[in-house]
A and B are shown apart, each in its own frame.
Chain A
Amino acid sequence: MAEIKQEPMSKKKLEYVRRERTKEMRQQVVSFGLMIFFTFIAFGMVAMDIDASFVIPVVIGLAFVQVILQFFYFMHMKDKGHEFAKLFMMTGMFFALSFIVTFIYIVWIGSPI
């Protein structure tokens, strides 16, 4: 079984790649930390029996921020050269949204339209 053959990188390039990777790593850890923190807040608010009319919008808001973080920092929405991945995610969101809207209108909200 042969080893993968690779061109050795120039020193400058190596440094650049290292720097980029560290940056990427830091961003991921930070957004991951934030997401865990948001989850704690959400659970905490429910556990503390705070008024539902306050909790529901706040939890939905936090969820929204989490989705954004997820898309941008973990699913490459922020990166260049991922046009196809972006197109796919946008299409997926569009489909999902239209399914949810129809479900709400013709399955769950009372009488048929």
Chain B
Amino acid sequence: MASTAKKQGVGSVLWDYLTTVDHKKIAILYLIAGGFFFVLGGIEAMLIRIQLAVPNNDFLSAGLFNEVITMHGTTMIFLAAMPLLFAFMNATVPLQIGARDVAFPFLNALGVWLFIFGGIFLNLSWFLGGAPDAGWTSYASLSIASAGHGIDFYALGLQITGAGTLISGINFVTTIINMRAPGMTYMRMPLMTWTTLVASVLIVFAFPPLTIGIFLLMFDRMFGSSFFLVETGGNTIIWEHLFWIFGHPEVYILILPAFGIFSEIFSTFSRKRLFGYSAMVFATVLIGFFGFMVWAHHMFTVGLGPTANAIFAVATMAIAVPTGIKIFNWVATVWGGSIEFTTPMLYALAFIPSFTMGGVTGVMQAAAPADYQYHDSYFIVAHFHYVIVGGVVFGLLAGLHYYWPLMFGNMLSEKLGKITFVLFVIGFHTTFLIQHFLGLWGMPRRVFTYLDGQGYNTANIVSSIGALLMAIAVIILVINIIMTLAKNQRVGRDPWGDGRTLEWSLPLPVPYYNFAQTPLVRGLDAYWIEKKANNGKMMPAESLEDFHMPNNSFIPFVLSFGLFVAAFGALYFASGKEWAIDAVADLPQHPWALWVLILGLAITFGSMITRSLKDDLGYYVTKEEVLRDLEEEEQRREN
């Protein structure tokens, strides 16, 4: 298994990816699956914008419209943005801290397969009687009443992907705390690693409330309990609290790793150390902590009372302070640097004003009395797209260009990249800027059409044209990716020429064991220091010896597949039963549902037992093999 891969058949490549526990390959799995769902969510977005382009449109029926917006939001948040961030976290973090893999490679594989199976399950709803239609927030008062199995697909699909996310979060926390190379102290960790750590901690604390909320919803809808059924003493507000206790930290889980990507890009392409590193770290941690204290700002109009609203309003506004610290530090990093306008850097520069605008509207909404006006209007849609697209999606696109050579060993075309950038940024502002005004003029969100003569027509058609520009930009990006992969022009170590952190010190493609010798880290921007002091060669922290690596395993795939099967059983369990809620009581009975549930759980527990009882001690990479690889790399460099 030398690093210069032998020609492999399609079958063996496929098997390799189905069983892999290597964080670099798992990153690629996340990228492919997340990219697929991103395109799917994008198509749904286009459908929404086509429907709303002109008044009184009947392109989508009202019911279908609800399904499309629900699936758009759910797909984009859970199946596109988060997995794509996990792709970059997997691709970079172990390399940035000088580790040979994550702390629990097996769990890493389990995380990606749970996400993929959960995502597929959720999307099968389109073919099996209708998608969920209660919004991505799935408020219980709507979701309990929603007829058919759509909401059940939402609950079960998110439960499965959520388990994967939780597992990956735990994995990254452990990895970053325990697996850092000698000399890599906390205050020398690159910002991407720091933000990954804080985002993972947020996952660990935020996902359990969601899991509980969804379990209660599942029990209500599938097993006849009544946590949210008001007629029988339940309380639907509890769902809203549980959802937003998860939901607000979730937006920081999304934005923090994007902040990390941008921080790396700013300092690389300004050829400067990140300005105010310790303030950046402090702000990241502070944002993470405050993120848990503000959830009720999504519920100002529920009627919590003025005192409760005031407390949450002030807490929310407080978060703007650490966020502001970050913005100023990025500007100061670029200030006076020797700037290189690469595609990632362009996204980073466009991110600052775009995200700041989203932050400003956030503070406006945080003023509780004012929010009574904004709430559930297009103003909210404009706000969160400014932070999610202008922050997270810009970050993902920047990261895609920036880390592409690290993941695939070749470079995306800068020319096409810049065309994508221009179209995407113009399209983004065209789509969403005007939605602020639509909201202030009174257009509600989540309504499938509007009447002529209310003054909404022009703004809506402008918004839809902007969406078209973004779609074209994404198509050009896909063409760019296909062309780059087809040409496959290999690049070598440090392809951007200005790499500062450890991941760029490695040869490309990165050997499967990452580091022949664990590097010694002598300061922040470890690779940059060695470029200045040591001719760009990392100093080893250990002598060259055999080292231990984990075996591949097919169990994560089977284990996740078991839950996928079990979910079908749970889904159809309540159909037509007399104790079931009205939404599914009239459907035909499915006596096999229970057996499918049991079968699926048996597969899952069987895999767990196999994993526990079968000793899997991994293998050793020999010194000889590593030496051979090093020699080969030396020769390649001379040519």
How far, in angstroms, from A92 to B238 measured CA to CA in the complex? 20
Partner-binding segment picked from A27-35, A36-44, A47-55, A95-103: A95-103
> Counting CB contacts under 8 A, is A8 at the interface?
no
**Is B204 in contact with A88, judged by CB distance below 8 angstroms?**
yes
**Is B237 in contact with A107, judged by CB distance below 8 angstroms?**
yes
> Counting CB contacts under 8 A, is A4 at the interface?
yes
How far, in angstroms, from A56 to B274 measured CA to CA in the complex? 57
| Residue of B209, B235, B617 touching A2 (CB-CB under 8 A) | B617
In the complex, chain A residues whose CB is within 8 Å of the CB of B304: 106, 112-113
In the complex, chain A residues whose CB is within 8 Å of the CB of B235: 107
**Is A113 in contact with B205, judged by CB distance below 8 angstroms?**
no
**Is B620 in contact with A95, judged by CB distance below 8 angstroms?**
no
**Is B245 in contact with A99, judged by CB distance below 8 angstroms?**
yes
A111 to chain B, nearest CB (A): 7
> Counting CB contacts under 8 A, is B477 at the interface?
no
**Is A102 in contact with B296, judged by CB distance below 8 angstroms?**
yes
How far, in angstroms, from A94 to B304 measured CA to CA in the complex? 22
How far, in angstroms, from A4 to B620 measured CA to CA in the complex? 9
- Closest B residue to A95 by beta carbon equals B292
**Is B305 in contact with A4, judged by CB distance below 8 angstroms?**
no
Q: Which A70-90 residues have C-beta < 8 A from chain B?
A: 84, 88
How far, in angstroms, from A84 to B293 measured CA to CA in the complex? 22
With A106-B305, A112-B303 known as contacts, the answer to whether A3 contacts B617 (CB < 8 A) is: yes
> Counting CB contacts under 8 A, is A25 at the interface?
no
How far, in angstroms, from A2 to B303 measured CA to CA in the complex? 64
> Counting CB contacts under 8 A, is A1 at the interface?
yes
In the complex, chain A residues whose CB is within 8 Å of the CB of B209: 99
| Residue of A3, A84, A103, A111 touching B305 (CB-CB under 8 A) | A111
> Counting CB contacts under 8 A, is B612 at the interface?
no
In the complex, chain A residues whose CB is within 8 Å of the CB of B546: 5
How far, in angstroms, from A102 to B237 measured CA to CA in the complex? 13
**Is A98 in contact with B293, judged by CB distance below 8 angstroms?**
yes
> Counting CB contacts under 8 A, is B307 at the interface?
yes
**Is A113 in contact with B308, judged by CB distance below 8 angstroms?**
yes
> Counting CB contacts under 8 A, is A64 at the interface?
no
**Is A4 in contact with B241, judged by CB distance below 8 angstroms?**
no
How far, in angstroms, from A3 to B296 measured CA to CA in the complex? 54
- Closest A residue to B548 by beta carbon equals A4
Q: Digit string of B339-366 for contact with A (CB within 8 Å is 1, else 0)?
A: 0000000000000000000000000000
**Is B205 in contact with A95, judged by CB distance below 8 angstroms?**
yes
With A99-B245, A112-B303 known as contacts, the answer to whether A91 contacts B619 (CB < 8 A) is: no
In the complex, chain A residues whose CB is within 8 Å of the CB of B237: 107
**Is B617 in contact with A113, judged by CB distance below 8 angstroms?**
no
- Closest B residue to A107 by beta carbon equals B237
**Is B617 in contact with A1, judged by CB distance below 8 angstroms?**
yes
In the complex, chain B residues whose CB is within 8 Å of the CB of A103: 238, 241
In the complex, chain B residues whose CB is within 8 Å of the CB of A4: 548, 617-618
B563 to chain A, nearest CB (A): 26
A113 to chain B, nearest CB (A): 4
Q: Digit string of B167-180 for contact with A (CB within 8 Å is 1, else 0)?
A: 00000000001000
With A106-B304, A107-B235, A112-B305 known as contacts, the answer to whether A92 contacts B617 (CB < 8 A) is: no
**Is A107 in contact with B241, judged by CB distance below 8 angstroms?**
yes
**Is B308 in contact with A92, judged by CB distance below 8 angstroms?**
no
**Is B617 in contact with A84, judged by CB distance below 8 angstroms?**
no
B112 to chain A, nearest CB (A): 24
Q: Which B58-106 residues have C-beta < 8 A from chain A?
A: none
In the complex, chain B residues whose CB is within 8 Å of the CB of A106: 296, 304-305, 308
> Counting CB contacts under 8 A, is B137 at the interface?
no
**Is B620 in contact with A2, judged by CB distance below 8 angstroms?**
yes
B53 to chain A, nearest CB (A): 41
> Counting CB contacts under 8 A, is B323 at the interface?
no
B106 to chain A, nearest CB (A): 16
How far, in angstroms, from A113 to B305 measured CA to CA in the complex? 5
B553 to chain A, nearest CB (A): 13
A36 to chain B, nearest CB (A): 24
A16 to chain B, nearest CB (A): 24
In the complex, chain B residues whose CB is within 8 Å of the CB of A107: 235, 237-238, 241
> Counting CB contacts under 8 A, is B301 at the interface?
no
A62 to chain B, nearest CB (A): 24
In the complex, chain B residues whose CB is within 8 Å of the CB of A3: 617
In the complex, chain A residues whose CB is within 8 Å of the CB of B141: none
In the complex, chain A residues whose CB is within 8 Å of the CB of B617: 1-4
Q: Which 8 interchain pairs have the tightest Cβ spacing?
A: A112-B305, A113-B307, A113-B305, A2-B620, A106-B304, A106-B308, A112-B304, A95-B292
Interface residues of A (CB under 8 A from B): 1-5, 84, 88, 91-92, 95, 98-99, 102-103, 105-107, 111-113
Interface residues of B (CB under 8 A from A): 177, 201, 204-205, 209, 235, 237-238, 241, 245, 292-293, 296, 303-308, 546, 548, 551, 617-620
23 chain-A/chain-B pairs, Cβ below 8 angstroms: A1-B551, A1-B617, A1-B618, A4-B548, A4-B617, A4-B618, A84-B177, A91-B205, A95-B292, A98-B292, A98-B293, A99-B209, A99-B245, A103-B238, A103-B241, A106-B308, A107-B238, A112-B303, A112-B304, A112-B308, A113-B304, A113-B306, A113-B307
Given contacts A1-B551, A88-B204, A111-B305, 14 further A-B contacts (CB under 8 A): A1-B619, A2-B618, A4-B548, A4-B618, A5-B546, A5-B620, A88-B201, A95-B205, A95-B292, A99-B245, A102-B241, A102-B296, A102-B308, A107-B235
